[in-house]
């Protein structure tokens, strides 16, 4: 699997954010978590990139995934 940057835009109360983070941890993948409830600039960046205000928004390289979509994550990462 190529070395790819993963960012997760989250909030502390989002259950799908927790599932996404756990999924990456189980796969041994590091990620950067951005709490949009505490960072207004990051929240604006997330909306600009995704067109969505809901979390999680996951950025893998230049790909944007809205929500916790395991199939799409695996497809982008080239895993099953």
- In DSSP notation, 34-52 reads EETTT-HHHHHHHHHHHS-
Query: Was domain 6-77 assigned CATH 3.40.50.10420?
Result: no
pLDDT along the chain (80 residues), means of 10: 83 97 94 96 96 96 95 89
Identify the pLDDT of residue 54. 94
Identify the pLDDT of residue 1. 47
Instruction: Write down the residue that tokens 């989002």 correspond to.
Output: 14
The pTM of the full predicted model, rounded to 2 decimals, is: 0.92
């Amino acid at each position: 699997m190529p070395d790819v940057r993963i960012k997760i835009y989250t909030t502390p109360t989002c259950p799908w954010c927790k599932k996404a983070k756990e999924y990456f941890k189980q796969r041994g993948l590091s990620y950067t978590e951005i709490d949009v409830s505490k960072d207004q600039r990051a929240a604006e960046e997330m909306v600009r990139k995704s067109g969505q205000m809901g979390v999680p928004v996951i950025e893998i390289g230049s790909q944007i995934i809205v929500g916790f979509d395991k199939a799409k994550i695996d497809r982008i990462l080239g895993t099953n």
